[in-house]
Amino acid sequence: MLAAPMAAIHITDIESAINWWRERHPSPDGLRACDEVLALAEVYALMVYHHEADCDEATMPAAALAAWLAWYATTPDAPCIAICSTSQGDAECKGCGRSFEEVRHWQAYSPAQKRMVWRRITMEARAWRFNRYAERARLASGVDHPPADSFGSGAAT
C-alpha cells in the first residue's frame, strides 16, 4: 500500500488564499490588510525568503492555517468526474488522474494532502478532466464519485 502524500501546502495555494481573502475583505484604506491576509502573508514571505515551495501543514501558525482552511473550503474537494477507471483495474484513473490508492483513501486525506494531489494531477494534465471531458469537469461539484447522471446529457457511457 502506498503511503498518503506528506501534508504540505504549496506556495501557489498560499497565494490563492491571500487573493481570496483580499477580495473578500479589501483594505479600507489601501494600507492595512485584514488579519487573515497578514497571517498568510507572513508564511508566504518566509517561504519566499527561504526559497521554499511548500510549507508543512502541521507547523503552520494557527491563524494562517485557519485562513488557508477557510479558502480551501471554497475549492472542490475531489477531482472526480464520475468516470472512474480504477474500478476497472487501472492503477491511475483516466477520468481524474488519481492513483487507485489516492481514490481509495481520499476521505482520510487532510486538506493539504488533497491539495497536493490536485496540484500533481493539474500539472500533469493527463486525466480526461483536463482535456476530453473538460466541460464535464467544469460542471463537477467536487463530490467524490458523484452519480454520472449529475452531469446531464453529456455523461459518458
Short-list 134, 147, 123, CA closest to 95? 134
Q: What are phi and psi of 8, to 5 degrees?
A: -135, 145
The kind and range of the H/E element at 124 are: helix 111-124
**pLDDT at residue 17 is higher than 60:** yes
Residues 6+ apart with CB under 8 A from 131: 125
The tens digit of pLDDT for each residue in 81-113 reads 888 888 888 899 998 999 999 999 999 999 999
Short-list 54, 70, 153, 64, CA closest to 111? 70
| Grid cell for residue 122 | 493539474
Cα torsion through 102, 103, 109, 111, rounded to 10: 100
Mean pLDDT for 17-37 is 94
Percent of the chain residues past pLDDT 70, beyond the cut: 83
**Cα–Cα distance, 67 to 21 (Å, whole number):** 8
pTM attached to this predicted model:
0.79
